[in-house]
Amino acid sequence: MEDEKNNLEQRERERMAKIIATGEVLIKEITPDKFEERLKYYIGLKNDETGQPIDLSLLAEKFEKMKKMLDSRGRSDLTPNEFDSFKRFLD
């Protein structure tokens, strides 16, 4: 039962890390070739003091909302000001 819970938590963490890394590619924070490296970074991200995994849900949620908006509008019509606004929103 504990193993199953850990596996579910790990898969959810991987899903959130993929959302975040994809968002970082979309806002050109990282290049696509750095995606896998960034994915591993987020999956392994832990609190220095407690050693517990850091909650990725809020950042993943922000990137997921951004991606949905971009997908609904089409990425090509995003102005530089809108792009900068998205970057500030995510910071």
Per the model's pLDDT, the better-predicted residue between 80 and 15 turns out to be 15
Give the whole-angstrom CA distance, residue 40 versus residue 26: 18
| 66-83 pLDDT, tens digit each | 777 777 766 555 566 666
DSSP 60: H
pLDDT in tens, 18-52: 989 888 888 888 888 999 999 999 999 999 999 99
Q: What are the φ/ψ torsions at residue 74 (nearest 5 degrees)? A: 90, 130
The pTM of the full predicted model, rounded to 2 decimals, is 0.74
Question: Which residues constitute the domain of residue 29?
Answer: 2-90
**Which amino acid type is present at position 56?**
L
How many domains is the chain partitioned into structurally? 1
Phi, psi of 47 (to 5 degrees): -70, 130
Nearest Cα residue to 19 out of 66, 54, 52, 53? 66
